[in-house]
Amino acid sequence: MKHTFLLLFLLIPSLYAQTTVDGFALPQPGKVFVFPRDHGSHPEFRTEWWYVTGHLDAKDGHRFGFQVTFFRQARREDGKTLHLHLAHAALLDAQTGRFFHEERLNRAGWDAASFETTLAVHNGNWSLRLDESTQRLHIAATVKNEALLQLELEVIKPLVIFGTDGVSRKGASETAASHYLTWPRLKTTGTVKLGPAEYTVTGEAWMDHEFSSSQLEEGQVGWDWAAVQLKDGREIMVYRMRRKDGTLDAASTLAVVEKNGNVRHLASTAFTWEVLGTWKSPRSGAMYPNHVRLCFENESVELKPLASDQEQDGGITRLPYWEGSCDVIDSHGQITGRAFLELAGYAGDLAGHLTPKAVK
Amino acid sequence: MSTVLLILRRCALRHWRLAFKQQLALMLILALGSSVYLAVRLASNAALSGFETFTDGVTRQPDWTVQALAGSLHEADLRSMRELLGPRPVSLLPVVEETVTPALDKGNGEIGSRATWRLLGVDFVALLNLRGEAPAGLGASNLQSVHAGVYVSPKLGTKAGEELRLIVDDRVITLKVAGVVPEVPGVPSLPAHLLLMDLPEAQTILQRMDRIDRVEVLSQNSPTFPQLREETGALLKSHWQVRGGSDRRQLAGTMTQAFRLNLTILSLLALLVGGYLIFQALDGVVLRRRNEIGILKSLGVTDRAIQIAFLLEAGLLGLCGGSFGVLLGWLGAQAAVGGVTKTMNALYGATSEQQASLSVSEASLALSISILASLIAAWWPARMAARTPPAHMLGHHATPFEGGTVWRVEWIGWAMMLAAVLLAQLPVLRFENGARLPLAGYTAALLWLMGAGLAASTILRLVAQKKARSAVWRIALSHLRRPTVRHRFAVAALASAVAMTTGMAVMVASFDHTMRGWIDRTMKADIYVSSAGAQSASSTHAITQKTVAELGQEPGVEELAFVQARTLLWHGGEVLILGTNPVFAHKHQLYAWVQAPQHEEWWQPEDGITPAIMSESWSERFATRVGDVIDLAGHKVRVVAMNAEYGNERGSLTLPSSVFREWFDTDEAWRVALMLKPGVDPETVRSHIEASQPGLSVFTNAHLRREALRIFRQTFSVTHALEVIGVIVAVVGLGLALTSLLLERRSVLTTLHSLGMTRREISKSAALEGLGVACAGAFTGIAAGLWLGWLLVYRINKQCFGWTLQFHAVWWHLAVLGAAVVATGMLVAALVGRWAALLPPEHQEE
């Protein structure tokens, strides 16, 4: 009994350290993930997202890049926890360069929800669901009333948990971390309807599921992220946390997922990120370095956007960012894969928007 | 054409200059006629647009509006809707809506004198997804919290941070103004009396947790989704009540169609009377210019050129009169809009008073009507001028000119009246959503009015048969014995105006009489209670069961009953469903049966089918008969009786309260009736309840009766104004006709003067002539008006509103009307006679 009291006494400080000041959970090393439950929602964390990006090809040679993302953001108000569901959908018609995108925001409730028991999220008429019987994912999304995507995603490479001991660090502070789960390669089939034309498509997608309570830390202003799918069966995930003073946060990393599913994390000093070209948005005025070259372990990977304007204008959240489909080119000029590149924080300080504010 | 213009310039316009006052009077008649029509049209449109601003305002026009088959929608319904629509890009916007009343606006104690606003609860967060289609600046941006309170239009004149005290249902609450919604060009702005609130907060304030009143649906077609709107509508219709976004306005349009049509037709009365007068005036012009016409014809001017010149002159007259009429009409509309809006509000519910604005199309329409009326009226005189041989035109010894023969054949008038009687037997035209148009009835009324006008000359001749000894009388009667077209049309104009006024007076009196009887039979409670915000037919303020229970605890109250109410869409039209305690109503005999139920305890169901009572309006609107079984909101209902109900013309169906509660899932009361213990003073109880329940309006029986009759009378205020204008136009026309006649007889007047008749005698003779015309017009008008009253009471009113009225005429009202018309006619004639007697012989025209 005595020992029990002592154990409790010792545990109390660490119990406090498991939550943010306002009571949201923090990622804990050694977390044992249980599926399909952990594909579902974790409302004890402040922020969570299910992020699907991919590349599609139609039989007639049409090529598309798509993104369907569901966010959940919680806040405390009058002792209650309120959840908002934000979602983004985008489609690039690579042939014409036309980029369609839409942002959506709803309260948790009848028109937006994320289930806790399995992967099932929806926001309005957009949805992402895991069919447990087939282990396939289903996406239905429209972009305004101009495009309709209905896709089925089959897991062809096992789930990856990035970070160390189940925790992916984004900064030095204790709270700047997340649980970061990824399906790096999903075989994708389905249809894309654009105007009167309907395309039967096949391709590959990438899905991140990440939950945390305070990812950005003091001094960080944004990030660059890329998901690269190489033809040789490997994938690369890279993120660079940018600081206000122009330096790179030491928590930045590049991870290589080998063909067999093994993951190698490289430190921020073990890779370089060279800007080859920029594009200035006529809407937000932001200058996006959207043509880059990654160098690591004697490898050179150039990410070249399929279209310059793949900016999501953040009409509701007022957080414009660039998220676009790219070709991957090796040092010999050969296309060796496809990638999605995300450039956030170029149209203003993200920390100002994303750190929790006092409730009015 | 140059000949025509030459005639127009040298003859017509020269006469205009010489007889400027006469032309001015003619223009005024035309202006008045077209202005009344325009004013009524603009005012009706403004009142109708008030319906729109009350119902819209949150988004651009929704493609569909979804409501529950009965009662409220719940969150489960919303989920089902989304599931049913699948991946279609459809925005669903749940809305709670309630009428509210500013507590500080005490009104003047009359029902309807306090403002009715609307409180709309909409999900501010979801509204962000409709950027450009919904008001901006509602504070729900940037993932931060929504400000508590209401958002208002800048037109309301309040500032953020101020407080609004409002009556919501039976409570007085205070709401903080969270912000003023800026007006952004291209984005829907808030109407002045619409308060917006975030949905969860509004649900809390209105005590409607998890309940939604309607869902606005946006589903625009696009090349990717070419049938989206239609598919969405079809899918939703399988489970809920769905109507198109524009349907609500159309519904308001259909609902008020009969009322607006009645007003429009009445407004055309002044134009009809004006038409008669233009005819007789131009007829006189032809006569006075016969010398000139004769000379022109002798000089070789063709008949066609003369006819065209006359028509052009008439068109010009119509243009000038019409232009002035547009101005007068716009001014009149500003005055009439309040009355029309109040009437629509009392009869049909929530519309807001709008500015009556003039559009180019409306102005053009009024102008065209004025020109057309002028041309139609001028057609015959112009034809006559063109066709009469020059020999008949020239010389003072030419045949006395009495106008076109066709218009002197009285049988045309009688034939028109017979046709009217036959037409009155035809049934009403019915439309899909229960709307009706008594086209045959209106045509009968028009034919009857015109026929009575033309047949009135018979009475004129009867009047002229009077034996007279004095020269003054003889001269006066001699002119009536062989009446000219001018006489006939002056009588016709007067007869039409008086007939219409009489007909309306009979209808109003019948209504008044019937209403009093109905009120006596149905209003038997000592005290009536409603929410203080219940100001119109469509106020949705309710009284909670808690308050009802408190009212029952009032000392002095012996018995209490309440009525529940909800509206439903049925067969494309809105109907009122009432829930009452049938035992209470039976015990106190509160129903005014048109067709009583077979069993006294009508509320006991047979074969498990719900029994219900329909109002007369329902029966007329949907052709439902007692004994019919109808499908309503997914339930089978047997109509077991029909009652008279003059409170609304949409039609109501009364259910036993237990059934109502089950259908609509509510125990909120709409109106509460209290029976007091013997000897208890109702006024004391009223004061006590009002003091303890500031959110309620309490009426004693006597007060509510007075209010009911006042509201009823108010609905006819615009009608009375239109009648007065019609009679004024007719009397002015009589003066104009006499002026014309006396000018034609200028040489006769000079001769009479030379023979020793004094000016006083000449004036008296003219006054007597006018008296004859006025008597014939008034007598024919009143006689014809009685039948018109019958037509309005038993045919048009029944077909439009479904109400059975008891024919009732207030004879002394009609006697006063006749006497006033005769006296005014005589006075005008005397003044004209006096002026004519002073005319020097050499005067041509003046």
The tens digit of pLDDT for each residue in B432-468 reads 666 777 888 888 988 898 888 888 878 877 777 777 7
Whether residue B479 lies within 8 A of chain A, CB to CB, comes out as no
- Measured between beta carbons, the chain A residues lying within 8 angstroms of B87 are 125-127, 140-142, 148, 150
Compute the nearest-CA separation of A180 from chain B (Å): 23
- Around B432, how many Cα atoms within 13 Å sit in the side-chain half-sphere? 4
What is the phi/psi pair of residue B705, to 5°?
A: -60, -45
- Measured between beta carbons, the chain B residues lying within 8 angstroms of A198 are none
Q: Best residue in A110, A139, A353 to probe B by mutation, most B CBs within 10 Å?
A: A110
Whether residue A80 lies within 8 A of chain B, CB to CB, comes out as no
- Whether residue B121 has pLDDT greater than 70: yes
pLDDT of A4 reads 39
- Measured between beta carbons, the chain B residues lying within 8 angstroms of A318 are 141-142
How many domains does the structure of chain B reveal?
Answer: 4
Instruction: Return the structure tokens found at B832.
Output: 């004209």
- Whether residue B718 has pLDDT greater than 70: no
Whether residue B89 lies within 8 A of chain A, CB to CB, comes out as yes
- Measured between beta carbons, the chain A residues lying within 8 angstroms of B126 are 105-107, 111
Where is pLDDT greater, at B48 or B610? B610
pLDDT of B142 reads 47
B185, part of any domain:
yes
Whether residue B126 lies within 8 A of chain A, CB to CB, comes out as yes
Last residue of some domain: B635, B663, B679? B679
Residues B258 and B232 in one domain: no
Average pLDDT over residues B280-301: 74
Residues B562 and B649 in one domain: yes
B690, part of any domain:
no
pLDDT of A14 reads 39
pLDDT of B210 reads 84
pLDDT tens, B640-652?
A: 999 887 766 778 8
Q: If you average pLDDT over each of A225-234, B138-147, B821-830, which comes out highest?
A: A225-234
Q: If you average pLDDT over each of A52-56, B166-170, B272-276, which comes out highest?
A: A52-56
Residues B309 and B391 in one domain: yes
Where is pLDDT greater, at B521 or B248? B521
Compute the nearest-CA separation of B566 from chain A (Å): 26
pLDDT of A72 reads 94
Phi-psi region of A30 (alpha: psi -120 to 50; beta: other; left: phi over 0): left
Q: Best residue in B81, B144, B187, B227 to probe A by mutation, most A CBs within 10 Å?
A: B144
How many Cβ pairs closer than 8 A exist between chain A and B?
87
- Return the bridge partners of B614, or none: B642, B653
Residues B292 and B438 in one domain: no
**Distance between CA atoms of A64 and A98, rounded to whole angstroms?**
10
Q: Best residue in A78, A316, A353, A359 to probe B by mutation, most B CBs within 10 Å?
A: A316
Residues B77 and B225 in one domain: yes
Structural domain including B518 reads 402-524+704-846
What integer best gives the mean pLDDT of chain B? 79
Question: What is the rounded end-to-end Cα distance, in angstroms, of chain B?
Answer: 29
pLDDT tens, B197-225?
A: 899 999 998 888 888 988 989 888 999 99
Residues B547 and B632 in one domain: yes
Whether residue B85 lies within 8 A of chain A, CB to CB, comes out as yes
Nearest to B531 by CA among B668, B671, B342: B671
**Distance between CA atoms of A273 and B64, rounded to whole angstroms?**
52
**Distance between CA atoms of B404 and B412, rounded to whole angstroms?**
13
Check A104 against B129: CB less than 8 A apart: yes
Residues B845 and B764 in one domain: yes
- Whether residue B597 has pLDDT greater than 80: yes
- For A109, the closest chain B residue by CA position comes to B75
Whether residue B209 lies within 8 A of chain A, CB to CB, comes out as no
- Measured between beta carbons, the chain A residues lying within 8 angstroms of B90 are 125
Confidence grade of residue B382 (pLDDT, cut at 50, 70, 90)? confident
Distances (CA, A) of B441 to B16, B267, B269, B500, B792: 41, 17, 16, 14, 8
B51, part of any domain:
yes
- Residue B363's contacts (CB-CB under 8 Å, 6 or more residues apart) are B38, B326
- Is residue B771 within 8 A of residue B822, CB to CB? The reply is yes
Instruction: Return the structure tokens found at B812.
Output: 């002394």
B689, part of any domain:
no
Q: Specify the amino acid at residue B481.
A: R
**Distance between CA atoms of B46 and B345, rounded to whole angstroms?**
12
pLDDT of B250 reads 55
Where is pLDDT greater, at B284 or B78? B78
Where is pLDDT greater, at B343 or B149? B149
**Distance between CA atoms of B662 and B665, rounded to whole angstroms?**
5
3-class DSSP state of A251 = coil
B118, part of any domain:
yes
Check A84 against B147: CB less than 8 A apart: no
B691, part of any domain:
no
pLDDT tens, B32-43?
A: 777 777 777 777
Check B223 against A196: CB less than 8 A apart: yes
User: Which position has the token pair 């039948």?
Assistant: B787
- Measured between beta carbons, the chain B residues lying within 8 angstroms of A141 are 87
B553, part of any domain:
yes
Last residue of some domain: B191, B218, B245? B245
- For A78, the closest chain B residue by CA position comes to B145
Residue of A106, A145, A318 lying closest to B142 (CB–CB)? A318
Whether residue B399 lies within 8 A of chain A, CB to CB, comes out as no
Check B224 against A194: CB less than 8 A apart: yes
pLDDT of A64 reads 97
Whether residue A88 lies within 8 A of chain B, CB to CB, comes out as no
Residue A249 per-residue DSSP state = P
Nearest to B701 by CA among B685, B688, B716, B713: B685
Instruction: Return the structure tokens found at B692.
Output: 């303890």
Residues B496 and B578 in one domain: no
Residues B408 and B391 in one domain: no
**Distance between CA atoms of B832 and B738, rounded to whole angstroms?**
7
B660, part of any domain:
yes
Nearest to B220 by CA among A194, A125, A195, A145: A145
Check A125 against B88: CB less than 8 A apart: yes
Q: What percent of chain B has pLDDT over 70?
A: 81
Residues B44 and B93 in one domain: no
- Measured between beta carbons, the chain A residues lying within 8 angstroms of B220 are 145
pLDDT tens, B455-504?
A: 887 887 777 777 777 888 888 888 777 777 777 877 888 888 888 888 88
**Distance between CA atoms of B455 and B457, rounded to whole angstroms?**
5
pLDDT tens, B219-249?
A: 889 999 999 999 999 999 989 988 876 555 5
Residues B350 and B389 in one domain: yes
pLDDT of B613 reads 94
Confidence grade of residue B111 (pLDDT, cut at 50, 70, 90)? low
pLDDT of A220 reads 84
Residues B96 and B224 in one domain: yes
Helix runs in chain A, H state only = 2-16, 350-354
Task: Kindly provide the residue ranges of all beta strands, DSSP E only, lying in B32-114, ordered along the sequence.
Answer: 64-67, 73-74, 91-102
- For A125, the closest chain B residue by CA position comes to B87
Per residue of chain A (360 residues), give pLDDT as tens.
444 333 333 333 334 457 888 889 999 999 999 999 999 999 999 999 999 999 999 999 999 999 999 999 998 877 888 899 999 999 999 999 999 999 999 999 999 999 999 999 999 999 999 999 999 999 999 998 899 999 999 999 999 999 999 999 888 887 889 999 999 999 999 999 999 999 999 999 999 999 998 767 778 888 999 999 999 999 999 999 999 888 889 889 999 999 999 999 999 999 999 999 999 999 989 999 999 999 999 899 999 999 999 999 877 887 899 999 999 999 999 999 999 999 999 987 666 555 544 332
pLDDT of B332 reads 76
- Measured between beta carbons, the chain B residues lying within 8 angstroms of A195 are 223-224
What is the phi/psi pair of residue B348, to 5°?
A: -120, -15
pLDDT of B60 reads 59
Q: Which CATH class is domain A38-354?
A: mainly beta
Compute the nearest-CA separation of B79 from chain A (Å): 6
Where is pLDDT greater, at A166 or B135? A166
Confidence grade of residue B417 (pLDDT, cut at 50, 70, 90)? very high
